[in-house]
Structure 1
């Protein structure tokens, strides 16, 4: 059977599975989520290192948008996009039924991935079945250098089921972090522009503080927007983060360090 027929049949089967079985069975959704999505998305969110109110785009959300739901639950404002109108409509229904507390943070719509306006997002998630993924990533690299990009690729065992050019192009796009799931799928995270939280700075890295949370102790510690710092690492045995401001060393608890946004200095 020609490869394009195999691909079409596989995509049709996945569509039926998502559109029918997962929509109707809570038990099956829970099992599917635990097996293939939950831990992966948690690791992606942690690696993306975004502020809680970040604006996020998810391309290839599908009819059962596990990723979009998890992103909304994490506090992000999410635009979930799929090229199929039926899938986008089903996704909106799914979120209203299964995520009553945070479905209002997700806006579902239908659009072609290569035509989406990518401006204004803090991060873009790209599902593994999006055929124009490489072109989207390259556009983000050129047009939105401060946007975090997260994309997924299949294990070598099933790559033949998907368009060859998609994976060839991914191989030439550098990622700052990647990790492999038990299924063999790989998540790639590209932290662009050097913007991250204090907690995720590399040891010895110089940076400028961009934003700080409201906290009574921070002014007395000289931790305020515009200050230049050097991150010295974490204290032993899981202790606080140590930063240097001038000749002064300051210990910052992990909770505050995660909320302080910095811009890494380049050589």
Structure 2
């Protein structure tokens, strides 16, 4: 339900620059904190999984850090809208959007991987990323508030404990109205 509503809102808003700006405004502070948490720099190669029609996380990362950002989304219509938004914002030199499944994506070229809250199946996507990640990769996962967890695809409590031996550090910080935590995992 939340994913459907978000998809619909983004589809409508993506057509109007003023609505894109307002939409991105909600994420600006959240992304600023994620940038600090993951220490994202302009030389980092960033992958955002789950960009939607308005790839606001990618937009904010590119604007705030000048890093190269690739965005993947499973919805080809959202990809088309996102490319249009990126072009209208004149960010096509910094942001590339393409159609792919997070469960299948090759993460080898990336230093930072960001998984959106609406991504589904989240644990399957995270499992793919974790298995393919290399030492030093920073993985950011948005975790919904407890009351909203039934509305999203989530990672199990066992996932982190099962991977703990391979994690050099992880952080949980409270952020946003719909998010309880932002999880950062750094592979050793």
- Is the TM-score greater than 0.5? yes
Q: Which is greater in Rg?
A: 1
Contact 1:69/1:103 (CA < 8 Å) preserved in 2? Answer: no
Give the gaps of 5 or more residues in structure 2. Answer: none
Q: Give TM-score, length-normalised by structure 2.
A: 0.84
Q: Deviations over 1:95-136 (max 9, x none)?
A: 111x22x33111111011111112121110110111132223
- Over aligned residues, Cα RMSD in angstroms? 2.0
> How far apart, CA to CA, are the structure 2 residues paired with 1:40 and 1:18?
18
Query: Is structure 2 residue 42 aligned with structure 1 residue 55?
Result: no
1:217-256 equivalent positions in 2, closer than 5 A: none
1:107 aligns with 2:101: no
How far is 1:25 from its partner?
Answer: 5.2
> Which residue does 1:89 correspond to in 2?
80
Tell me the equivalent position of 1:200: none
Aligned to 2:156: 168
Structure 2 vs 1, CA of residues 85 and 45 (structure 1 numbering), >3 Å: closer, same or farther?
same
Residues 1:124 and 1:64: Cα distance change in structure 2 (over 3 Å):
same
1:229-262 deviations in Å (ceiling 9; x for gaps): xxxxxxxxxxxxxxxxxxxxxxxxxxxxxxxxxx
Q: Quote the residue 2:15 is aligned against.
A: 23
Q: Which segment drifts farther, 47-56 or 80-89?
A: 47-56
In structure 2, how many angstroms separate the alpha carbons of the residues matched to 1:69 and 1:182?
18
* CA distance in 2 between partners of 1:23 and 1:79 (Å): 21
Separation in structure 2 between the aligned mates of residue 158 and residue 103 of structure 1, nearest angstrom: 34
TM-score, structure 1 length as denominator?
Answer: 0.61
Q: How many residue pairs are counted as aligned between the two chains?
A: 178
Task: Give the number of the structure whose residues are more often helix, by fraction.
Answer: 2
Alignment partners' CA distance in 2, 1:114 and 1:139: 6
2:5 aligns to what? Answer: 13
Relative contact order: is structure 1 or structure 2 higher (C-alpha 8 Å, sep ≥ 6)?
2
Q: Give the corresponding residue for 1:43.
A: 33
1:184 shift after superposition: 4.6
